[in-house]
Amino acid sequence: MTQDWARLGALLRTAREDRLALSQADLGERIGVGRNALRAVEAGTGKRITPTIRRYAHEVGWTEDSIESVLAGGEPVLREDSADTAAQAVQADAVTELAKALVARLPARVLQELADGEVMDTDIVDLRKDGSSAVMTLVVKRGDGPAQPDQVREDLSAWAKAQRELRRMLPGS
């Protein structure tokens, strides 16, 4: 029985592009292989089912026996959870990219402060009455480790007082 490796590669590539919307490099990073390995799989140069092909098929949502089915002329079968998994993966990638972009915009001083303690509250204060882009961003944090509930209440009370004072100092308050 002949095995259609080119068809397997083409179906995997289509699933990667359509279901995951990932480049070869991005998928390779996810499954721990280089782009060249994925290029070879998609080109249909395989002669045996490798762990890379198994991970690739799993990542695009195929069932365990889909590879053998495709090689024998059949169609891949999607895992029941794969639609949710694919959507979650795309959403997780988007959230990760957004988080990276936002963190890249933070000054080093803010990053260091956030890394050193527990964030308790945040606030954004307009510095001008007209609502222009002049704003002050405040991050209230505690020192190392979680605090006792009484200490948290005390800290939040002190922050509320400071917050009221800051707002009173602003023009138009």
> So what's the pLDDT on residue 80?
79
CB 138 within 8 A of CB 148: no
Mention the CATH class of domain 5-99: mainly alpha
Q: Return the pLDDT at 136.
A: 66
Q: Which residues contact 80 (CB under 8 A, 6 or more apart)?
A: none
Contact 79, 61 (CB under 8 A): yes
Cα 135 to the chain's mean position, in Å? 28
pLDDT at 75: 95
Domain range annotation of the chain: 5-99, 106-169
Does residue 57 register a pLDDT over 70?
yes
pTM for the structure as a whole:
0.49
DSSP annotation string for 64-118 = TTHHHHHHTT----B-TTHHHHHHHHHHHHHHHHHHHHHHHHS-HHHHHHHHHSE
